Amino acid sequence: MPAPSSAQPASLTACAYSAWTEGASYKAGDKVAYSGRGYEALVAHTAYQGAGWNPASTPTLWRDLGACDGSTPPTTPPPTTPPPDTKDETCAVKSKPAGKVLQGYWENWDGASNGVHPPFGWTPIGDPAIKQHGYNVINAAFPVIRSDGTVLWEDGMDSTVKVATPAEMCAAKAAGATILMSIGGATAGIDLSSSTVADRFVETVVPILKKYNFDGIDIDIETGLTGSGNIGRLSASQANLIRIIDGVLGQMPANFGLTMAPETAYVTGGSVTYGSIWGAYLPIVKKYADNGRLWWLNMQYYNGSMYGCSGDSYSAGTVEGFVKQTECLNNGLTIQGTTIRVPYDKQVPGLPAQSGAGGGYMSPSLVGQAWNHFNGQLKGLMTWSINWDGSKGWTFGDNARSLQGR
């Protein structure tokens, strides 16, 4: 009788391969181990999370090499050539700018291709023209927010969207920009009635803020925030917005920035009545203005009336309305015995960059009259948007830079 063979049956393989991993990318010929069997990739592909493309269930992607024999795979020798460093570029969070600011919204979509403001549509966040025309603070608008609070910030997350890479963000910052992520906008709302949604928002936005080297967040939530009717008692939506802000600030460096860009009804509109949307931002503004975390307030002086401290109302686009509303916040707006004060050096009023960008457009001469009324005491100006301004010759940015003496 011949001696027994030490060879393994043909159906067994040593499986000296790394384990298959969901989310990994594979090229044709790669070999993996999965559920006690060996497999070879037939085509290049990515095993997307949740797609269920494991080797056992996708014979069009993987060839079954047979059952593993249970032996310990040999140690893989180190590669002779080090793999390329794929780590994202990082750069430090920049602190609040010391001088005057011109803060503009940078659109991550193409507003020219959809006919909104041709011919100037999407542009790189490091476009030298942005700095050349006076903008030194950029609000990157807007992430996609899913119904469960999950935040997305990636190419293609919405039509024509392209976001800046971490390296491009660092380059723009090195050239002088301070860059914030703007949360919200007219169409990117968040369910503020749910603390679970708020927590999911924080959980998913913080890694994005860190990965992409943002210097702060701009709260531009325009839907879902209402007051309780009693300024001394927070509504659920107000409490959850504070939960979001505190959650983000608590996980970022101490110099990480916070700005807010509410519409007028949410702030000085509280002088008319307090409840529903009217004055709904006031407890939030007060909290962060008083504790020093608010860099400045970017109230939108457009798309609605402007209000003084006595419930007096002014049309958007007027110097008088600009002045009265700004003075009200500096002097202090008192609602139900609670005073909310935002001094001039924490005010960066928001205006439309060009006719068509928003209701209440002010010509460069009117902007100059409003700005000069305060003798340089305002921290700066904000505008919607950088891309709108670029579409019509940069007249807003050039004028603001000149008014600020930069």
Cis amide bond preceding 385, omega within 30: yes
Beta partners for residue 384, in sequence order: 352
* Cα–Cα dist 263/273, whole Å: 15
Other CB atoms within a 10 A radius of the CB of residue 40 amount to 16
Say if CB 33 and CB 19 are below 8 A apart. yes
End-to-end CA distance of the chain: 98
Which H or E element spans position 286? helix 282-290
Q: What size, in residues, is the chain?
A: 406
Rounded Cα distance between 134 and 324, Å, is 26
Q: How many CB atoms lie within 10 A of CB 78?
A: 7
Q: Find where tokens 């992430």 sit.
A: 143
- 154, 222, 320, 327: which one is catalytic? 222
* 222 assigned to active site: yes
Give the number of other Cβ atoms within 10 Å of residue 150's Cβ. 15
The answer to whether the bond into 142 is cis (omega within 30° of 0) is yes
Give the SS3 label for residue 217: strand
Q: Return d(Cα 241, Cα 149) in angstroms, integer.
A: 12
Task: Give, in order, the Cα–Cα distances in Å from 126 to each of 87, 98, 165, 219, 305.
Answer: 21, 21, 11, 23, 35
Residue with tokens 């991993």: 21
Give 302's strand partners.
Answer: none
CA dist 220 to 85, 101, 202, 264, 297, Å? 36, 18, 16, 12, 11
Q: Is the dihedral of CA 406, 318, 107, 92 positive or negative?
A: positive
**251 three-class SS:** coil
> At how many degrees (to 10) do helices 282-290 and 236-249 cross?
30
Which residues are marked as active site?
A: 222
